[in-house]
Amino acid sequence: MAEVFAGAIDKGLEGVVACTTGISSIVDAQLFYSGYLIEDLAENSTFEEVVYLLWNGRLPKANELEKFNNELNANMSLSAEKVELLQKLPTKNVHPMAWLRSAVSMMALWDDKSQSDEDADRHEVALRLTAKVGSLVALFERTRQAKEYVSPQAGKSFAWNFLHMLNGVEPDADSVKVFDTCLILHADHELNCSAFSARVTASSLSDLYSAVTSAIGTLKGPLHGGANEAVMRMLLEIKTVDNAKAWIKSALENKEKVMGFGHRVYKNGDPRAKVLRGMSKILCENAGTEYYEMSKAIDDTVQSEKGLLPNVDFYSASVYYSMGIPLDLYTPIFATSRVSGWIAHIFEQYSKNRIYRPRGEWTGESSLKYVPVADR
């Protein structure tokens, strides 16, 4: 006889509070990292400082920030041995998120601290992971273009180094600022799907690499991090501002989801989308493309037809496109930043752990009698 529950939840745990957290919060449609408003951080902070904030719950003093910047910077490089082996992994017809998921998992095999549960060792692993995900993304891109791996440079920011390692040319200050702001905006987001998945893995007291690998697999899906790439594919398919309204209306009539719209928590707009919209406008105008205008026309149509507002993935697509970043790297870039938030969640989970083990209400037949295979 199946156990009877008060009410099964087949609605993606909507409204369920699964843990307490001190990392980031969404309050009245505003996003805060450790109590600081996201718009304030986007304008004034750096990615490195935000990582420190997410991991420590407070902003660093000048000497602490300098030390942390240097630690992250020192951990960005990939050894010649790793580069040689990783360059042998397939990249043709391989989605970079699949490659990244495998590469991060492989990194554990070279890390003698990966299985340690000592705080100091875990901190070292956390730094390595956070610093190296972006380096892996850059290595993937250069490998598939048959180009050499570019090493990080000391004394340069994380954003500067990522763009340099990706493109092999020194980025200009404006591109570095835009990219750094994108990293800040994507670093954490309360109990999003991938952070939850990282926490579930950590709750079995598995290691940091396993939890981050789980999270990368979760971020990959088009309903989560994969939406930014899908948005750009949609913009390229729509082609012109004039086509936008009719294209969206037809998609909605066909009950298709318009990528980059809607959110489980924000029903009156995602604050990150507003920051990215401003950046998209400037970058598209500078590049002389119509993608901002097209995005705005789509935004207006989805709002008027369906009452849905853009999320973080909508305007980030045209921002990355304007920066010349290949479409299928948009989600790996999301991971490059979000790994910092996942790690904050993993540590928080370890610090007050109880294994996640919900129940499932049985809806099938019960008390069936086994029938030997020959009699079925």
Radius of gyration for the alpha carbons in the chain, expressed in angstroms and rounded: 22
Is the torsion defined by CA of 190, 166, 321, 105 positive or negative? negative
Q: Is 249 in the site for ligand COA (CB under 6 A)?
A: no
Q: How far is the CB of 12 from ligand COA (least distance, A)?
A: 5
Catalytic residue among 188, 299, 313, 328: 313
> What are the tokens at 41?
């951080």
Tell me, yes or no, if 117 is annotated catalytic: no
| Beta strand 30-33 pairing with 24-27 | antiparallel
Backbone phi, psi, residue 270, to 5°: -95, 120
Per-residue binding string, ligand COA, 294-313, x by CB under 6 A, is ------------x-x--xxx
Q: Which is nearer to ligand COA, 177 or 249 (CB)?
A: 249
Question: Quick one: 214 exposed, middle or buried, by C-beta within 10 A (0-12, 13-18, 19+)?
Answer: buried
Query: CA end-to-end span of the chain, whole Å?
Result: 24
Q: How far is the CB of 61 from ligand COA (least distance, A)?
A: 34
Catalytic residue among 263, 299, 328, 345: 263
Member of 95, 177, 257, 274 binding ligand COA (CB under 6 A): 257
The SS3 call for residue 325 is coil
Tell me, yes or no, if 263 is annotated catalytic: yes
Q: Is 48 in the site for ligand COA (CB under 6 A)?
A: no
Q: How far is the CB of 176 from ligand COA (least distance, A)?
A: 25
Residue 54 near residue 344, CB atoms below 8 Å:
yes
Q: How far is the CB of 262 from ligand COA (least distance, A)?
A: 2
Q: Is 341 in the site for ligand COA (CB under 6 A)?
A: no
H or E element that contains 355: none
Q: Which is nearer to ligand COA, 100 or 259 (CB)?
A: 259
Q: How far is the CB of 171 from ligand COA (least distance, A)?
A: 27
Q: Is 199 in the site for ligand COA (CB under 6 A)?
A: no
Residue 82: CB atoms within 10 A of its CB come to: 20
Question: Quick one: 16 exposed, middle or buried, by C-beta within 10 A (0-12, 13-18, 19+)?
Answer: exposed
- Residues involved in catalysis: 263, 313
Q: Which residues bind ligand COA (CB under 6 A)?
A: 12, 223-224, 227, 257-264, 306, 308, 311-313
